[in-house]
Chains A and B, each alone.
Chain A
Amino acid sequence: MNILVCMKQILDPEVPARDFRIDPVRKEAERGSADFVTNIFCENALETALQFRPEGSKITVLSYGPASAEETLRKALAMKADAAALVVREEDGAPPDPLHAARVLAAAIRKLGTFDLILTGREAGDWGAGQTGALIAEELGLPCIAFADSLQLEGGKLRVKRQTEWGWELFEAETPLVVTITNDEHNVPRIPKVRDVMLAHRQPLETFTAAGLGVSATNDYYEVEELFLPKKESQCELVAGDTLDERVDALAKKLVEVTASL
């Protein structure tokens, strides 16, 4: 099976709120001292593909991002993806809107060949738009299943399990198909071996540009009009008392007070 996984490099979302700054002109987060990391759901998607991987499959990873996104792809190769491709984005432009990103990725996917399965993360930890997978499906004219956490072959048929707010649903699906992946205890991304990290740096990396792919790299879908920090947080009242018993008693009373009116 020919599998493609889209991966995005983002500003480390674990940066504490107190160190988080905004560039009001570019309308995006300031990098500051934060690292770039691979979006976790993209790694969940790759992990899902690696665990699924039927005999004779090939897994290609694809990213659209600045030159530094190469690190994300090298790490994916170290996790044992087979091939990698990067569409290099001009770093001075505004961050791509969801349709812009999907259009470029879809063009790169067409260029790279034919794929049975295209996986994306459910959303990215920076803008969290949650649209890339769905829009790639529409750009390529493929069906799409969202929020999946596992893939299986049963009697030659693809089974996709996905999470819903009330439980789960099991799909039977024909390929080709786009699936967006969410996290689950079973698709926690593996840590690559040191040897594989070194080998990954010697593997070929195919590169493209949007212009070379013949697609427009403009934001014609939506625009970030304002970006601001939310209002100041409230003051927390720590329950008073000389002993633990007194403090827990005060806590119990407060909890009862808040819930009494319900």
Chain B
Amino acid sequence: MSIVTIHFGFDRAAAGLAGEGRRLADASNSELHAIAINGGAADLARVADRVSSIDVDYQPEACLAALAELCHGATTILFANDTYSQELAPRLAHRLGGSCVGDGVGVELRDGAMRVTRQVYGGKAQAVIALKRTPGVAWLRARSFVPAPLRDTPCEIATITTPAFATKTRIIERKREAQTEARLEDARVIVSGGRGIGGPEGFHAELEPLAELLGAQMAASRAACDAGWAPPTWQVGQTGKKVAPELYLAIAITGASQHMAGISEAKNIAAINIDPDAPIFRHARFGIVEDYRKVVPLLREKLKKMQ
């Protein structure tokens, strides 16, 4: 048995992923091999038994070829849920003759075979998926896993150089939006708006100043993003970001299961919605049934006074 975790940098997700890798390795008496792509090797060396460090300009085809070589012989391979991980996980499984499953919130090894718990049907149901091939590859909602304590003595770090080769696809430009802000996935407080906001001005004039007062980051439902009221990077839900804040304030969001699938790890959900029958109230810890246009300006006043 050997367990590999693959990390693109070291953040809260990478720490959760390494923690889960450590737990599975200890439970099965296996070695944990962490692969650090573009940073994070020093931190991972205090969790894993072996670290391979690769510094490379991310290009999917080249990175996939390098990983296929490094993961040769592994029985379990874990990724986090960032774009690059989701892009490569199924293809890596295929190249190694294995099986892959995504969006895992629980992992178990039974006689070496991987079983992964995940949401299906837009969060309306949960499934346990048993992988039939080896290696078992999974990408996880890594932030919901517990990081491992860091050892004082780091393990060895092997620096891997990947041969450059021409690929048929090439990233020629990258644009980082909201670079100054922390990532939505790491946010402790989130203010989020839905279809009921009614237009971009509601986000801009009402929600954004409220978010500032709460020290929150902004998010939106798919309906609001599809309408162009909020940028796609704000989208939370089954097909957007999966977030895990201490407080998620859902404003004019109905709470369809597809949206709830993105906030199932939130500690506290609060809701402002005009419709008392909105499903969001079945998930929220507290809330108010009222038009957000009446609540939010007043709420900002109250919060300002309390500061």
**Partner-B contacts on A (CB < 8 A):** 11, 13-17, 20, 22, 27, 29, 41, 98-99, 122-123, 125-131, 134-135, 137-139, 143-147, 149, 160, 162-174, 177, 182-185, 188, 219-230, 233-234, 236-239, 244-245, 247-249, 251-256, 258-259, 261-262
A146 touches B86 (CB 8 A): yes
Which residues from B are CB-within-8-Å of A144? 60, 87, 91
A233-B283, A254-B270, A254-B286 are contacts. A169–B189 as well, Cβ < 8 Å?
A: no
The residue from A20, A131, A143, A171 contacting B125, defined by CB atoms under 8 A apart = A20
A258 touches B90 (CB 8 A): no
For residue B258, CB closer than 8 A to chain A, the reply is yes
A to B CB contacts below 8 Å, 13 in the list: A128-B120, A130-B102, A134-B87, A134-B94, A183-B222, A188-B226, A223-B130, A227-B120, A229-B125, A234-B283, A238-B289, A256-B303, A262-B215
A135-B94, A171-B169 are contacts. A236–B228 as well, Cβ < 8 Å?
A: no
The residue from A139, A185, A239 contacting B286, defined by CB atoms under 8 A apart = A239
Mask of B218-256 contacts with A, CB within 8 angstroms, 1/0: 000010011110001100001101000011010000001
| Known contacts A164-B82, A221-B132, A224-B129, then 9 further A-B pairs from the complex at CB < 8 Å, ordered by chain A residue | A11-B121, A129-B101, A130-B86, A162-B83, A165-B241, A170-B171, A226-B128, A245-B298, A251-B288
For residue B202, CB closer than 8 A to chain A, the reply is no
Query: Quick one: closest A residue to B136, CB to CB?
Result: A222
The residue from B83, B99, B100, B289 contacting A164, defined by CB atoms under 8 A apart = B83
A223, B115: Cα distance in complex, Å: 10
Which residues from B are CB-within-8-Å of A177? 168-169
How many interface residues does chain B have, given as a range? 35 or more
B95 touches A255 (CB 8 A): no
**Partner-A contacts on B (CB < 8 A):** 60-61, 82-83, 86-87, 90-91, 94-95, 99-103, 115, 119-133, 167-179, 183-185, 188-189, 214-215, 222, 225-228, 232-233, 238-239, 241, 246-247, 249, 256-258, 268, 270-272, 279, 281-290, 294-295, 298-299, 302-303, 306
Query: Quick one: closest A residue to B260, CB to CB?
Result: A17
How would you classify the secondary structure of chain A's contact residues: helix, strand, loop or mixed? mixed
How would you classify the secondary structure of chain B's contact residues: helix, strand, loop or mixed? mixed
B288 touches A172 (CB 8 A): no
A174 touches B168 (CB 8 A): yes
B247 touches A259 (CB 8 A): yes
A221 touches B133 (CB 8 A): yes
The residue from A16, A99, A168, A262 contacting B246, defined by CB atoms under 8 A apart = A262
Query: Quick one: closest B residue to A221, CB to CB?
Result: B99
Query: Quick one: closest A residue to B228, CB to CB?
Result: A185
* Distance from B15 Cβ to chain A, minimum over Cβ atoms (Å): 17
Which residues from B are CB-within-8-Å of A237? 285-287
Which residues from B are CB-within-8-Å of A224? 127-130
A167 touches B174 (CB 8 A): yes
* Distance from B101 Cβ to chain A, minimum over Cβ atoms (Å): 6
A236 touches B125 (CB 8 A): no
A147 touches B127 (CB 8 A): no
* Distance from B207 Cβ to chain A, minimum over Cβ atoms (Å): 14
B247 touches A143 (CB 8 A): no
B102 touches A129 (CB 8 A): yes
Which residues from B are CB-within-8-Å of A173? 168-170
Which residues from B are CB-within-8-Å of A182? 239
A145, B302: Cα distance in complex, Å: 48
A220, B99: Cα distance in complex, Å: 9
